Structure 1
């Protein structure tokens, strides 16, 4: 691990924290730009450093620094109704990074789609158990309202990443 990768991992932890605050507070899961940050971290940093960036984000939030949506922090957020989405971020970045290391916008897009599915599944399952919802109600509350907007974010992220990777050697996948 070199200084450049540590700095980039920290930068993407910070980007995820900032993206968390750009939100529309609907219940039980707010609309945020975290999915965009997770997709960018995985695709630009690769599986290892994208994963590390999201672990850093979770650890910072778990100790109480208000990096989660609505300027919340603390372990209670991670074990709360929306914590499953947060816990999925390192796994999603790893998956996205794995596919993006194969190069090309198609691989990047496939990785982002699989990463989003992991975020949705993990988030929906925790939402179901914490709020004692049926699987259908958890899907309707925690996935359905977000699909179209999240897919738009992933399309944007795919093109941004593809353009950046073609023009720079700064990132892991360049």
Structure 2
């Protein structure tokens, strides 16, 4: 990795941390801007750097820096009820970037990648939350996925617009 790539990956890790602090608690899973930043990391940085940026974010939080929602940190967050959402971030960023790269950076490819990324976040988050709810996956879906769908569709649309603009202005890789 060159210095520019390190800087971009670090920037998106930091932006994800900032997005985590804009949190509105709704049930067991807070509403944050993290998903928007995860999508943007894949859309703008691509699969490799998007993945790295989110791994840096998780590692920073795991060692105790207060980068997770509500200025929290620590390894326990990755294994708690919302840990599935967090652990999905690097996978989602990679998939968003990969779909964008494979589709030649078309709006269709970026949109498909964004929906795939959100889907992975929901899937892993829902499964982890369901285990913490004594296997009540229906309740976990109702509390941990459904309330967020409209907001995350909006975040995906915003991410597409921002990414198209930023990619025109800045050469990332």
Q: Into which bin does the TM-score normalised by the smaller protein fall?
A: over 0.9
In structure 1, what is the Cα distance between the partners aligned to 2:170 and 2:44?
Answer: 11
Q: Is the 8 A contact 1:35 1:153 kept in 2?
A: yes
Partners of 1:127 and 1:167 in 2: CA distance: 39
Deviates more, 1:14-23 or 1:160-169: 160-169
SS of the counterpart of 2:68? coil
**Cα distance in structure 1, aligned partners of 2:107 and 2:126:** 28
Q: Is the 8 A contact 1:29 1:141 kept in 2?
A: yes
Task: With the length of structure 1 as denominator, give the TM-score of the two structures.
Answer: 0.96
Q: In the TM superposition, what are the counterparts of 1:11-160 in structure 2 within 5 Å?
A: 11-101=11-101, 102-160=104-162
Post-superposition CA distance 1:101-158 (Å, at most 9, x none): 1211111111000000000000000000022142211100100000001100100110
User: Aligned pair count?
Assistant: 171
Measured after TM superposition, the shift of residue 168 of structure 1 is 2.9
TM-score in terms of structure 2 length = 0.96
How far, CA to CA, are the matches of 2:160 and 2:128 in structure 1?
A: 28
Report SS of the residue matched to 1:25. Answer: strand
Alignment partner of 2:29: what SS? coil
- Paired with 1:38 and 1:120, the residues of 2 have a C-alpha distance of 13
**2:63–2:73 Cα contact (<8 Å) kept:** yes
- Alignment gaps of 5+ in structure 2: none
* Residues 131 and 137 in structure 2, CA contact (< 8 A), matched pair in contact too: no
- Counterpart CA distance in 2 for 1:142 and 1:84 is 11
Deviation larger for 98-107 or 139-148: 98-107
RMSD, aligned CA:
0.9
Contact 1:24 1:30 in 2 (8 A): yes
Distance in 2 (CA, whole Å) between partners of 1:165 and 1:12 is 14
